[in-house]
């Protein structure tokens, strides 16, 4: 376990006190972790504690309005010319035909057709908006009458203010320097605390390492993973609540238009807007056209591109499959995919998944696994991971991995790409300060990065052999080792 004093000394502005009782208040209000820590930073005392839970509940309800408050917000904007500031996820779009910007707040049911951003406001906020991929911020709304907008457009809600709610600078170089202050074991515990888990609740490093493997799509573009795990291990929480740059789809029907491209609206889908798309409860997800979805997934997962009706979409989102499976069925020598929708039981599609997370290594969530101490701010850490996905950072760390990892020339191309991509993601997560091959301690690199990457891909390879013995039978993964440099 890391020293709390040391953590707060190294990260003086980006730690918060995470109290399980206070966390429960946020959970009951369905507040994501990244918003929660922003609120904690504003409302906690010098000791990090929340003095009045009732006051906190009132503040949460006031600062994050819900859909049922839409009419009240509209009436306030119309009557008073402006609303109070509130937190919202906002999508901004430029309408070429009418030559104006509009916005949408989907959580409140406010649509682009109802809104307008006037040019003088756009000039003031555009730097904040353009540099905020997730679109979350403090907003204030106003109202423009039909006379003010032109009677053909009618009255419109207007955006008066937008401010990214991140209260501190996110600097990767400073983060890399900070990492040098901690041992690997300490760093793993710090990451666990950053995503709300108590390091002392885990039995061994394998449990911790497996849980943190879920973060690979947060930190590396187009990491495609499958996790089949027993119920109650926290899959939905981590992929749905920890960061603002991912999308969690839980059950129901998922369309090609929503995931990739809407031909009617000429609008790109989730893979172009988010860092990952996680399909939870995969056994219950339905596709309106399974064969079309299967083809689209294969094209996108291979190259990050797909074409629909002459329009090419490009994305960096990883595709994550999450399913519940009894612990006794977690056996890589058996077909673990037999209960999945048929679209995912084709070997050509499965081959495009880079790795398999063995959920049996992750304990069922219980109270001892919830952090109750000072920890790294979740919102800050997820911002760091998002910035690590930039092209320059990917090239930097991939070059280190390419210099270190050796494999035979006969290696299967997809196996090679899977191992190196996962290995790169692990390197960023656990050793961000290793930016050159000569920085790397090879024993730790092998234990925490290379061996787990090979094992994750090996599981996919073994499942391919069971699904399609004619194509994959007898074809084991090549030997990967660390090169002498």
Tens place of pLDDT per residue across the chain (485 aa): 789 999 999 999 899 999 988 888 888 888 888 888 888 888 888 888 998 888 888 999 899 998 999 999 999 999 988 999 999 988 888 888 888 889 999 889 999 989 999 999 898 888 777 655 447 889 999 999 988 887 666 899 999 998 877 766 789 999 999 999 999 999 999 999 999 999 999 989 999 999 999 999 999 999 999 998 888 899 988 999 898 889 999 878 889 999 999 888 788 899 998 999 999 988 888 888 889 999 999 999 999 999 998 889 999 999 999 998 877 778 888 888 887 888 888 999 999 999 999 998 999 999 999 999 999 999 899 999 999 999 999 999 999 999 999 999 999 999 999 999 999 999 999 999 999 999 999 999 999 999 999 999 999 999 999 999 989 987 789 999 999 86
Contact 356, 216 (CB under 8 A): no
Query: Tokens representing 353?
Result: 């998944």
Instruction: Give me the residues paired with residue 482 across strands.
Output: 405
Q: For residue 248, how many other CB atoms are within 10 A of its CB?
A: 19
Q: What pLDDT shows up at residue 152?
A: 64
**b/e string for 155-179 if b means 16 or more Cβ within 10 A?**
bbbbbbbbebbbeeebeeeebeebb
- All structural domains of the chain: 1-13+170-485 (3.40.50), 77-164 (no CATH)
Residue 177: half-sphere exposure toward Cβ, Cα within 13 Å = 7
Rounded CA Rg of the chain:
23
Residue among 174, 194, 133 at smallest CA distance from 379: 194
Sign of CA dihedral 433, 437, 439, 441: positive
Q: For residue 251, how many other CB atoms are within 10 A of its CB?
A: 13
- Residue 30: what are its φ and ψ, rounded to 5°? 55, 40
Q: What pLDDT shows up at residue 265?
A: 78
User: Coil, strand or helix: which one is 67?
Assistant: helix
Q: What pLDDT shows up at residue 264?
A: 84
- Which residue has 């690979």 as its token pair? 216
Q: Which residues does 202 contact at the CB level (< 8 Å), separation at least 6?
A: 192, 208, 211, 363, 369
Residue among 187, 129, 193, 189 at smallest CA distance from 162: 129
Which ranges of 108-234 does DSSP label H, i.e. alpha helix?
A: 119-130, 146-149, 172-179, 184-194, 205-213, 216-219
Q: What pLDDT shows up at residue 151?
A: 60
Report how far residue 125's alpha carbon sits from residue 160's, in angstroms, rounded to the nearest whole number: 9
Q: What pLDDT shows up at residue 303?
A: 94
Q: What pLDDT shows up at residue 38?
A: 84
Q: What pLDDT shows up at residue 241?
A: 87
Query: Tokens representing 302?
Result: 């291979």
Q: What pLDDT shows up at residue 284?
A: 86
- What are the DSSP calls for 227-274, one per residue? EEE-TTSSHHHHHHHS-SSEEEEEEEEE-HHHHTEETTTTEE-HHHHS
- Which residue has 């893979």 as its token pair? 271
Q: What is the largest CA-CA distance in the chain?
A: 74
Which residues in 334-450 belong to E strands, given as ranges? 355-358, 373-376, 405-406
Report how far residue 255's alpha carbon sits from residue 292's, in angstroms, rounded to the nearest whole number: 10
Contact 136, 244 (CB under 8 A): yes
Contact 397, 428 (CB under 8 A): yes
Q: What pLDDT shows up at residue 195?
A: 96
Q: Calculate the dihedral angle through the C-alpha atoms of 161, 167, 173, 178, rounding to the nearest 10 degrees.
A: -170
Report how far residue 329's alpha carbon sits from residue 336's, in angstroms, rounded to the nearest whole number: 7
Contact 241, 217 (CB under 8 A): no
Which ranges of 408-450 does DSSP label H, i.e. alpha helix?
A: 413-430, 442-445
Report how far residue 206's alpha carbon sits from residue 196's, in angstroms, rounded to the nearest whole number: 18
- Residue 311: what are its φ and ψ, rounded to 5°? -105, 125
- What are the DSSP calls for 98-117, one per residue? TTEEEEEBGGGTB-GGGEEB
Q: What pLDDT shows up at residue 134?
A: 43
């Amino acid at each position: 376990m890391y020293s709390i004093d040391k953590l707060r000394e190294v990260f003086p502005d980006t730690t918060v006190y995470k109290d399980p009782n206070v966390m429960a208040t946020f959970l009951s209000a369905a507040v994501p972790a990244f918003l929660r820590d922003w609120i904690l930073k504003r409302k906690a005392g010098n000791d990090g504690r929340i003095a009045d839970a009732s006051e906190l509940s009132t503040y949460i309800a006031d600062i994050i309005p819900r859909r049922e408050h839409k009419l009240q917000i509209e009436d306030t904007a119309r009557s008073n010319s402006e609303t109070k500031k509130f937190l919202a996820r906002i999508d901004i779009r430029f309408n070429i035909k009418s030559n104006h910007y509009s916005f949408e707040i989907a959580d409140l049911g406010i649509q682009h057709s109802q809104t307008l951003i006037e040019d003088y406001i756009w000039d003031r906020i555009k730097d904040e908006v353009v540099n905020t991929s997730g679109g979350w911020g403090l907003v204030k709304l106003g109202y423009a009458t039909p006379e003010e907008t032109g009677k053909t457009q009618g009255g419109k809600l207007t955006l008066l203010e937008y401010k990214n709610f991140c209260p501190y600078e996110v600097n990767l170089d400073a983060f890399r320097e900070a990492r040098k202050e901690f041992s690997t074991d300490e760093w793993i515990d710090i990451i666990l605390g950053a995503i709300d888990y108590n390091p002392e609740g885990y039995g061994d490093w394998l449990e911790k390492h497996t849980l943190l493997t879920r973060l690979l799509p947060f930190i590396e573009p187009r990491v495609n993973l499958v996790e089949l795990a027993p119920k109650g291990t926290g899959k939905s929480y981590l992929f749905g609540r920890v960061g603002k740059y991912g999308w969690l789809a839980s059950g129901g029907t998922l369309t090609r238009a929503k995931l990739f491209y809407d031909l009617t609206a000429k609008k790109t889908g989730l893979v172009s807007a988010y860092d990952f798309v996680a399909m939870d409860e995969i056994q219950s997800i339905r596709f309106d056209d399974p064969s079309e979805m299967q083809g689209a997934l294969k094209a996108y997962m291979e190259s990050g591109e797909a074409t629909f009706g002459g329009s090419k979409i490009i994305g960096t989102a990883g595709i994550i499959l999450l399913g519940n499976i009894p612990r006794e069925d977690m056996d890589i020598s058996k077909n673990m995919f037999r209960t999945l929708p048929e679209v995912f039981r084709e070997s050509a599609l499965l081959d495009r998944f880079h790795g398999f997370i063995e959920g049996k290594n992750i304990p069922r969530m219980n109270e001892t696994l919830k952090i109750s101490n000072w920890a790294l701010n979740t919102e800050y850490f997820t911002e760091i991971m998002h910035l690590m996905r930039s092209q320059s950072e990917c090239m930097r760390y991939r070059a280190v991995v390419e210099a270190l990892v050796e494999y035979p020339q006969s290696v299967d191309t997809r196996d090679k790409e899977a191992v190196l991509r996962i290995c790169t993601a692990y390197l960023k997560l656990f050793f961000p300060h290793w930016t050159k091959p000569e920085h790397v301690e090879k024993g730790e690199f092998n234990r925490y990065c290379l061996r787990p990457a090979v094992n994750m891909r090996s599981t996919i390879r073994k499942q391919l052999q069971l699904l399609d013995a004619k194509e994959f039978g007898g074809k084991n993964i090549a030997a990967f080792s660390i090169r002498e440099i």
